Chains A and B, each alone.
Chain A
Amino acid sequence: GENVEQHPSTLSVQEGDSAVIKCTYSDSASNYFPWYKQELGKRPQLIIDIRSNVGEKKDQRIAVTLNKTAKHFSLHITETQPEDSAVYFCAAHRDDKIIFGKGTRLHILP
C-alpha cells in the first residue's frame, strides 16, 4: 500500500525567512497530492494541492513542487509570518485512499 514519508518532523524558521517541507511517496499510481495545515484542536485545512500531471503550483506565498520520477513533492512557504505556525501534513491520493505523512511542526520565531 501507499506510504508517505515527511521531513523534517519539526522546523523552526525566523519570521520572514522561507520554510521547506519535503515528502516522498511509494505508490506510483498516486495522482493527487494535497498539503494540509492543522492548528491545535482544529480540523486539517487544505492550503495547496498538486495533480500528477503538473510539476509546480503557486498561490501567493505558498508553492508546491512535484517530481513524479523521484516520487517526491515539497511545500515552500516564503516570507513566513507568525500565523504560519502550525502542523503541516502532506498526503497522497490513490483512488479513494488518502494517506497522510507524519506531519511537520513549523515554528515561526520572532
Chain B
Amino acid sequence: DTEVTQTPKHLVMGMTNKKSLKCEQHMGHRAMYWYKQKAKKPPELMFVYSYEKLSINESVPSRFSPECPNSSLLNLHLHALQPEDSALYLCASRQGAGSTEAFFGQGTRLTVV
C-alpha cells in the first residue's frame, strides 16, 4: 500500500464551524506533513510531524490545529476560518530523514463561506 488517503475530498464550512481533515498512511512513514495550496501557487508548508511529535510549525494561525494520534494518522482541526483559508489542503508522508521521496494524498478542497 503506497497510498496516502485524505478525507473528505471536498469540504464547505462556515466561518463559525469546527471541522477536521483526516490523513492516513500505512507505509510505516515516520514523517507526516500538512501543506496548503492556493490556485496557481506552490504547496506551502504548514506543519511537520516526526515520530508523532510536532517538529515544524511554519507560523500557522492557531485556527489551524494539527494532531497526530498515532503513526498512521494525521488530523487538521479547523475552527473560525476565514474565506481566504479556502484552498487545497495536501497531506504528505515520508519514510525517514535524508533523501527520501514524499508521497502526497489527493487533497481536501476546502471552501470557507
Majority secondary structure of chain A interface residues (helix, strand, loop or mixed): strand
**Interface size classification for chain B:** 20 to 34
Would you call B90 an interface residue if the criterion is a C-beta within 8 Å of the partner chain's C-beta atoms? yes
Q: Are A31 and B98 in contact (CB under 8 A)?
A: yes
A99 to chain B: closest CB distance in Å?
7
Q: Are B50 and A96 in contact (CB under 8 A)?
A: yes
Query: Could you tell me which A residues sit within 8 Å of B by CB distance?
Result: 31-32, 34, 42-46, 49, 51-52, 89, 93, 95-103
Interface residue from A42, A43, A51, A96 paired with B99 (Cβ < 8 Å): A51
Q: How many A-B residue pairs have CB under 8 A?
A: 52
**A95 — which chain B residues lie within 8 A by C-beta?**
97
Binding-face segment, B20-28, B61-69, B77-85, B104-112: B104-112
- A92 to B37: give the CA distance in the assembly, Å: 17
Name the CB-closest residue of A to B6: A43
A106 to chain B: closest CB distance in Å?
14
**B55 — which chain A residues lie within 8 A by C-beta?**
96
Contact A44/B45 with A31-B98, A31-B99, A98-B33 known, Cβ cut-off 8 Å: no
Would you call B101 an interface residue if the criterion is a C-beta within 8 Å of the partner chain's C-beta atoms? yes
- 20 further contact pairs, Cβ within 8 A, besides A96-B50, A97-B45: A31-B99, A32-B99, A34-B102, A42-B106, A43-B90, A44-B43, A44-B104, A45-B104, A46-B101, A49-B101, A89-B43, A96-B31, A96-B56, A96-B97, A97-B48, A97-B56, A98-B33, A102-B42, A103-B40, A103-B42
